[in-house]
Structures are given as structure tokens and as C-alpha cells.
Amino acid sequence: MKKHIYFLISFVLILLDQISKYIIRIQVPNFHSIAVIGNFFKITHLQNTGAAFSLSFGSLLLNKIIFLTVTLLVLIVFIILLWKSNSKFNSLIYSLIIAGATGNFIDRLTMGSVTDFLDFDFPDFIIQRWPVFNLADSTIVIAMALLIYGEFFINNKNDSKEDK
């Protein structure tokens, strides 16, 4: 299987993530919102020094050190997994995770925070308002959804064939 395709997918997604964040940083002042679809979808520029859902260790320096270190380790693991994978499905998942982790790693390394801007208001039965996120976060969420799908539907199907 040609691995370069999956690394190319990661590269293109990282590029799109970084371009979108750059445009937001130069066009939308921090903490400002632009309504796109009423209150449902806004472009809201935030600089997140924490992790997912703005989780934080309370110190900007500690956040940066821990998040960069963990991300670097995650990247190493998923690059190795991608390199060794014989599954197109898993390779796609790994390339999405690599793209998302790298996109946010670049932000954290160069600016000390991650640029978030996608702001959705889902029905209140989920939470009051969904945390603002970016394209890199989206690739990781999509990868996790595919991973769960693969575990429940693809691997179970393969297990059923082996049982017969």
C-alpha cells in the first residue's frame, strides 16, 4: 500500500487548518463573533491556551510544555501506526489524527495557544453552547468517529466471518 497518499492527506489538511486560522487571526479580532447562520453558527475568534474544552493546568507555561510533549508523543505513535498499517481504513484514521494534532501543535509551538473559530449552538439538550473549535479539532473528531464505527461495524463483521 502506498503510504505517501495518507501523508499527503495529512499535509493538505494541516495546510487548510493553518490557512483558515491565519485568515481568522488577521480578519476577526480576538473574542469577536461574526454571525453566519443566525445564532446557530458563528465565526468566533478565540485563542485557547488549554486543551479540548479549554481544559487547563492553570499555568500557561505548564500548559504549553505538557500539551506540546503529549502531542509530540501522540504524533510519533500515529506516524509509526500509519507507517506499519496495512489497512486503508486505519491509515485514513491515522492521517486524520496526525493532521489534527500537527495543526494544533504548530499553533501552540509558534503562538503559545490554539486558534479556535467554529462556533455552533446545538440544541440545548446537549450543552448550552458547544465549545469553539477549529479544523484540526474536526479532523480528530472525525477520526475518532471512524475509529468507533470501525470497531463496531467493520471489525465485528470480520469477527463474524471468522466464527463461521
Please state, as a whole number, how many other Cβ atoms lie within 10 Å of the Cβ of residue 1.
9
Alpha-carbon distance 21 to 43, whole Å? 11
Please state, as a whole number, how many other Cβ atoms lie within 10 Å of the Cβ of residue 6.
23
The sign one gets for the Cα dihedral 141, 126, 50, 24 is: positive
Please give the positions annotated as active site. 116, 137
Helix (H) or strand (E) holding 119: strand 114-120
Name the residue type at position 6.
Y
